[in-house]
Structure 1
């Protein structure tokens, strides 16, 4: 026989009381029909809420579903009677689908990499949050009951995300003290444990900097059956949570909101520090950030318009993704319109505004049309990433004028035309970042390959960058370049080039070729306001090859 439903949340109590009121009304002929009708409407709204939230929220993964089924079918009373748990654990403590999806969403929104959970119970919340963590993310769950660790672990092991979870058994405060002593910090902390200790957990988190600078604290059960705000409630847990809510409200270090989800979820964040009178704090841009932005926020490119030439593959594709991920709208420029459209579609799938443009940068009319198309669509250009280039190998005595001209027309003349065309837009608006792709070949003569025209053209790109960088900085335009080393591409692993690869590797202190992802942070830095004092610089990223 299934146990009768026991009300646990404010909405469930409202439903319970409305049902009783409806029964009374139906048994009393003197109750007006209008009152009975309004009671039914209120009941319909209250009864339908939880089910609709479950229906409209993303469905849980199979491991989560299995963990939920295992949790609700378990005989927790018998487990306690058998002495396997210290406390009698009520089935109402189990996190459900909607709460799990909310926690998962909060991890995504806060971009958390490390999460601390105080009070795990059967692990549904822990696994929900772990599913949102990056591959190298970590969740440490503090759980008093060793039995619950053994209960959850088999399901964790089935999930590809379970390896991110570490369960520490014993009193949560002891674990927190150990973590603080180790200098650990967390991006998100979820508290769902013994209610009387909520204030102690909260104070310890803030007083010992277990919470990162931009971290959030999520606290469950903060509406506790509605008893935190009922004046005549004498519930002990309700009083403890009422005290906790008031303590957080009075704490000037934070701001918070209670979300009326199930039994209440409070989300807390630390507010920026503002010094009081007679403070000894040096409240300058180092402390508060340039324009109030912390250093990572200064790398954001939100609202900026960028283009990348040669973006249909390789380095250019990686640059386009990086600029887009940092917040910019990105025009994908390539001679091959099909390749440009594929990369633009990739960005679109990630929620990045993009456009594909076909252009041969060795032709001045193509360069100008490229600029005009971007300005026509997005109104301006803030970031010009001139990356397109070609490389033709030949011994110097055999290098033809045709090869020389083709190489220079793209690598140097084309880069110049792009700089000049984009520069006209940027100089007019008094702001711009130009980033040219040079090469390690501008510093050394790579060997054993023979590439006179390429090496010389890339040296020219560096001098072009230096000259423009000095001419335009006082008008708001910074010009820099990136010199990659030898980049790992599918072509390099062909049978004919294998002997060269082995020679190159012997010349690279890092012991490997560059990946296109090794270059992405550099282009974002040079495109951002964080690099405003840098111009005419050649940023070399080659694993140390130019040092040998």
Structure 2
């Protein structure tokens, strides 16, 4: 066979598929997966009496077999795991593990083949990121490539606990963890793995994700301990590596079985037969099994506490997926934080602000997160602008489920010298603006067949008189927002609209620190707040998601105060 001979010329129509046709399985079904195609080529080799034709099929099978792992790695974002991880992989592959063992520095003869590599690091960390894991357990660390990759995608207060038996490996990985700035997110536990699991259980730690890649004969023991000790959080995932172990998972020699392959074969059957979990084996490299808990209740039960309302776990009830939200005053400060919170919870967000440039900046931030968002300019003191912001939102997405009326202003002046125009402007924005917004939003929401939520921003000033600042107009305007919220909540309660409001305390914004009249008051305010700090905009985000979601479905006309306890002293 000439190397330049076109491959298809070696296939004869009488005995083989036509050029370009897809191979078929014995059942007659077209081969879909790479392994099915390889199997078809091998079967064709066995059937062929033509050496050239058999060689062609062998070449095709070889190309697929040799190329699949390389292709998978090429199409995976391995560069995203970070340069430090690439350095660890390189160091691991070049390290004299035999020499380390001969010197007695390790208990077992380690090998560079145990290095997870950048592909596995990318796979495990991407999975952790996709389930928004905060606490992760890794059983079997070796030189820490997956440990570092997972730690890099955890939130700042997240943590990965990793178990190993070799003190040498803990010292080997420590400088790399520190150099990458990940050491605070990583805790290495040395010693017997099952005892480490019991220690974690005693600490009360639970895990959103657990990854097992350790001694194969210990897999079942680790799994049983995890389940018995309740270490896997509700909704958590368990990933087990090497479950197709070198293709030996079913091909065992009766007289000389491979102990690792036999252990994995028995482990796979054990998982499959466990009524507490569902599992799926993914044929990635040498196999990864994904295990999740089955629902705890039978499908026939009507106990909603057991099953969750509409069979939704409580966190699912906070989801805003497929919802559409509108937020006024969203170009900065509290409104911006609300827009991000609703977007992160799954809603599409119309960012409404008097300053369109600010609104567009926030939209850019949201789209960078993958949130659907549009910018809308509106002056909430103008009826036509309020109607237009609703129209633009519905034109874009066909609906409006959530409206957050947050736009507001504040002036500080003694009551005896408050200018009339300052009083009028404060009420126009803070009170009339909220009413006009609610009115425009309700015109659409009252016609909706699905529950809707309106959330107004009031103030702690509705519960007390903040001091020593002087802001009579602001206090009165926000008190009116609370009464408006209560009135609309009652009036629209039987027509699918819930209306509530949030009353923030003093929020730590640039406005305070840049205002010469307000900055000196911070110390006075802190003395008045039991929690001893000002509110941050992030302190308010969970409340707006709760009020927007079905989780607050029996709540209307309420004023939710988030003020560090200031109103109760």
TM-score (norm 2): 0.88
Q: Which moved more, 1:228-237 or 1:319-328?
A: 228-237
Q: Which residue does the alignment assign to 2:471? A: 451
Q: Which residue does the alignment assign to 1:98? A: 119
Structure 1 residue 301 corresponds to structure 2 residue 324: no
1:192 pairs with 201, 205, 213, which one? 213
Structure 1 residue 521 corresponds to structure 2 residue 532: no
Distance 2:246 2:436 in 1: 69
| Cα shift at 1:231 | 5.5
Distance 1:500 1:154 in 2: 46
Contact 2:252/2:258, CA 8 A, preserved across alignment? no
Secondary structure of the corresponding residue to residue 47 of structure 1:
helix
1:112 pairs with 133, 136, 150, which one? 133
| Cα shift at 1:434 | 0.5
Distance 1:498 1:461 in 2: 27
How do residues 59-78 of structure 1 correspond to structure 2 at under 5 angstroms?
Answer: 59=79, 60-78=81-99
Q: Which residue does the alignment assign to 1:272? A: 295
1:267-322 CA-partner distances (Å, limit 9, x unpaired): 11111113499xxxx96211211111111111111111110101111111111111
Q: Which moved more, 1:384-393 or 1:283-292?
A: 283-292
Change in CA separation of 1:528 and 1:230 when aligned onto 2, cut-off 3 Å: same
Distance 2:360 2:69 in 1: 44
Contact 2:325/2:350, CA 8 A, preserved across alignment? yes
1:95-146 CA-partner distances (Å, limit 9, x unpaired): 1111111111111112111111111122222222222221211111111122
Distance 2:299 2:397 in 1: 44
Contact 2:76/2:122, CA 8 A, preserved across alignment? yes
Contact 2:201/2:229, CA 8 A, preserved across alignment? yes
| Cα shift at 1:232 | 4.7
Contact 2:129/2:153, CA 8 A, preserved across alignment? yes
Secondary structure of the corresponding residue to residue 314 of structure 2:
coil
| Cα shift at 1:77 | 2.0
Q: Which residue does the alignment assign to 1:216? A: 237
Q: Which residue does the alignment assign to 1:407? A: 426
1:493 pairs with 501, 504, 513, which one? 513
Structure 1 residue 312 corresponds to structure 2 residue 331: yes
Distance 2:519 2:59 in 1: 78
Q: Which moved more, 1:205-214 or 1:71-80?
A: 71-80
Structure 1 residue 43 corresponds to structure 2 residue 62: yes
Runs of 4+ aligned structure 1 residues displaced above 3 Å come to: none
Contact 1:96/1:124, CA 8 A, preserved across alignment? yes
Secondary structure of the corresponding residue to residue 296 of structure 1:
helix
Distance 2:299 2:290 in 1: 26
Distance 2:89 2:392 in 1: 54
Q: Which residue does the alignment assign to 2:458? A: 438
Unaligned runs of 5+ in 1: 1-13
1:130 pairs with 132, 140, 151, which one? 151
Q: Which residue does the alignment assign to 2:19? A: none
Q: Which moved more, 1:147-156 or 1:453-462?
A: 147-156
**What do you get for the CA RMSD once the two structures are aligned?**
2.0
1:232-260 CA-partner distances (Å, limit 9, x unpaired): 57322111110000110111111111122
Change in CA separation of 1:222 and 1:161 when aligned onto 2, cut-off 3 Å: same
Q: Which of structures 1 and 2 has the larger relative contact order (alpha carbons within 8 angstroms, sep 6+)?
A: 1
Secondary structure of the corresponding residue to residue 295 of structure 2:
coil
Q: Which residue does the alignment assign to 2:481? A: 461
Q: Which moved more, 1:251-260 or 1:396-405?
A: 396-405
